[in-house]
Amino acid sequence: MNVQKVKVSNTEAKDTFLSTIIDSIQDIKGKNIVKLDLTGLEDRPADYFIICEGDSTTQVRAIAENVKKRLKEDLTTEPFKMEGLLGAKWILVDYFDTVVHVFYRETRPYYDLEDLWGDANFTSYEDV
């Protein structure tokens, strides 16, 4: 399989990319999933943040690994980098213009990314 590291540019491809991330989080029962659309902000670090949490460090690691696996298998895309796998309190999966933040439930309130980026458009997804 030939894996590419590419920025997703068209709207349909971006929607597929984001929905695959959300679905891969839900596969592992990730909770409190939100999408922050940062595209309207001038000094944004990315176009989108996908934020979720797990009940244990094992689940946090499994969510992050499933995001990586599904995007590689379904869309032949790999992350630019992943950080935080060792402690699994906050794992960041970086796809350039989309960054997935997977938090251990007790760590998430400390960083409160939703409040920090409160000017972003916010979409919440129901737990499945």
Q: What does the domain layout of the chain look like in residue ranges?
A: 11-109
Rounded mean pLDDT of 13-21? 95
Instruction: Dump pLDDT digits (tens) for 31-66.
Output: 999 999 999 999 999 999 999 999 999 999 999 999
Confidence of residue 70 (pLDDT cuts 50, 70, 90): very high
Query: What is the reported pLDDT for 128?
Result: 66
Is the predicted pLDDT of residue 5 greater than 70, yes or no?
A: no
Q: Is the pTM of this model over 0.85?
A: yes
Calpha distance 92→102 (Å, rounded): 6
Range 11-109 classified under CATH 3.30.460.10:
yes
Q: Are 95 and 79 in contact (CB under 8 A)?
A: yes
Specify whether the backbone of 77 is left (phi greater than 0), alpha (psi in -120 to 50) or beta: beta
